[in-house]
């Protein structure tokens, strides 16, 4: 057993998928002190723990009734698109905002009032120049990039379906989204993409259930597609302002703002394949070192965009935290949402575009949580012979406390960081051995899929 399927520390939260199909509660992680390789039962007081949910069918969009004396009701939301529940994470599938056509060109530089300006980068994608980074002009950001976020609809051959969001990443109509969005309609489901008032057919380029990422492409794309620029998720800091763009609960073109609440937050959910939730071990588990945000995201946002104030893509929203006391299994925003960092997404997307499949890095150890001692960390159980860990000199009993300078506080934390790394690149691990802190470098290898 390798680090990709070892028991992890309880998160205090559990995950549900938000694509198509019924949501299912994730089995709790192994509690501290339990034997490696087992899944523990919830502990005392766990009845009101949050859980992570990947998308899922959302209820009928709310309607509004005018109050006394109101002249007319406000416009009703479009009811024709429904977000299907796909997966088993507590991941709220964030529906994408509907894209229009024309990309935004530079129209002005910052004026004397230091207002935000939209300019075009050398690649043709819009970028917002904020006059005051401490008080972003979110209207300028939304206007510049919302057209690069699309709504995805799935229609299954057996009458099933689902919906979610996607982000256009090139002029050929290539779109990145969540795997649980694409798998929500079951095997052979027809995929359509809504751009403004137009609907286009799309085909799957590749899917990766292990990271909950997928790539699709428009069959006959228009010539005036808006394209999202990639940002750098490694450059994010806690407290940075961000905007989520999507189609929550069928409410198209919805934008919400907040901040980066935490970085490298380990979030565990279960993978989804063709509408079915995979097992809770091996490649059936999705473990992400996620961006946590308080920007309001809900089922229907999955696969959409988390952007910085300049309109650059920094994450793919994929899950939200809900409370287990919610008997319906369908959660809404409680201010704790999670996104896959864009730097990890690019590693997977590049592979899917090249080969249609993705490979993942592996250290080659079994791990458990530290149950005693002065430091939290991931305790090494076994080291696989001839693995990256063995070559680096990592030994059973070592406690990993950091990876590339990022603190490791649990086995789950270590798994998430390793999965977000790149095959063939060195990773530096801080370890405790016999009370002494050491630094070792391992060249991560591809896991057996």
Q: Which residues are catalytic?
A: 180, 212, 302
The answer to whether residues 256 and 297 touch, using CB atoms and an 8 Å cutoff, is yes
Please state the separation of Cα 222 from the chain's center in Å. Answer: 28
Instruction: Give the angle subtended at the CA of 17 by the CAs of 365 and 200, to the nearest 5°.
Output: 115
* Torsion angle defined by CA atoms of residues 92, 50, 89 and 233, in that order, rounded to the nearest 10 degrees: 70
Which of 150, 143, 167 minimizes the C-alpha distance to 99?
150
Q: Would you put residue 223 in left (φ > 0), alpha (ψ -120 to 50) or beta?
A: alpha
The single-letter DSSP state of residue 167 is: E
Please state the separation of Cα 349 from the chain's center in Å. Answer: 13
Please state the separation of Cα 127 from the chain's center in Å. Answer: 23
What are the structure tokens assigned to 164, written together?
A: 């979610």
Q: How far apart are the first and last CA of the chain?
A: 13
Q: How far apart are CA 138 and CA 126, in angstroms?
A: 14
Q: How far apart are CA 98 and CA 193, in angstroms?
A: 9
Q: Where are the beta strands (DSSP E) in 174-253?
A: 174-177, 190-195, 198-208, 213-218, 229-230, 241-246
């Amino acid at each position: 057993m390798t680090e990709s399927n070892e028991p992890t520390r309880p998160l205090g939260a559990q995950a549900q998928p938000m694509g198509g199909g019924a949501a299912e509660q994730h089995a709790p992680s192994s509690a501290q002190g339990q034997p490696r390789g087992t899944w523990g039962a919830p502990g005392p007081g766990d009845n009101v723990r949050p859980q992570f949910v990947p998308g899922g069918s959302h209820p009928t969009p709310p309607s509004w009734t005018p109050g006394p004396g109101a002249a007319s009701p406000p416009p009703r939301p479009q009811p024709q698109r429904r977000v299907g529940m796909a997966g088993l994470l507590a991941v709220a599938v964030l529906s994408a905002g509907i894209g229009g056509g024309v990309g935004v060109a530079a129209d002005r530089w910052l004026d004397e009032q230091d207002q935000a300006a939209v300019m075009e980068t050398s690649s043709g994608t819009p970028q917002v120049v904020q006059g005051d980074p401490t008080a972003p002009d979110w209207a300028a950001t939304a206007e510049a990039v919302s057209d690069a976020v699309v709504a995805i609809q799935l229609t299954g051959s057996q009458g099933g379906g689902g919906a979610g969001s996607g982000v256009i990443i090139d002029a050929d109509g290539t779109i990145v989204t969540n795997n649980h969005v694409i798998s929500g309609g079951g095997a052979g489901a027809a995929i359509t993409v809504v751009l403004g008032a137009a609907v286009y057919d799309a085909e799957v380029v590749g899917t990766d259930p292990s990271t909950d990422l997928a790539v699709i492409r428009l069959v006959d794309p228009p010539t005036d597609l808006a394209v999202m620029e990639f940002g750098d998720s490694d450059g994010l800091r806690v407290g940075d302002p961000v905007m989520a763009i999507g189609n929550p609960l069928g409410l198209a073109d919805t934008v919400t703002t907040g901040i980066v609440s935490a970085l490298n937050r380990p979030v565990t959910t279960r993978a989804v394949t063709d509408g079915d939730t995979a097992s809770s071990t091996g490649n059936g588990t999705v473990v992400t070192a996620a961006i946590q945000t308080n920007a309001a995201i809900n089922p229907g946002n999955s696969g959409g965009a988390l952007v910085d104030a300049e309109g650059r893509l920094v994450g793919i929203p994929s899950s939200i935290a809900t409370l287990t006391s919610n008997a319906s299994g369908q959660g809404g925003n409680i201010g704790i949402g999670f996104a896959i960092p864009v730097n990890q997404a690019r590693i997977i997307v590049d592979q899917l575009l090249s080969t249609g499949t993705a490979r993942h890095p592996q250290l080659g150890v079994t791990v458990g949580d530290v149950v005693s001692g002065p430091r939290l960390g991931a305790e090494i159980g076994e080291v696989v012979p001839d693995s990256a860990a063995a070559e680096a000199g990592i030994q059973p009993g070592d406690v990993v406390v950091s990876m590339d300078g990022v603190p490791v506080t649990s086995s789950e934390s270590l798994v998430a960081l390793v999965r977000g790394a790149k095959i063939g690149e060195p990773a530096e691990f801080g370890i405790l051995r016999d009370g002494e802190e050491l630094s070792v470098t391992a060249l991560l290898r591809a896991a057996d899929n």
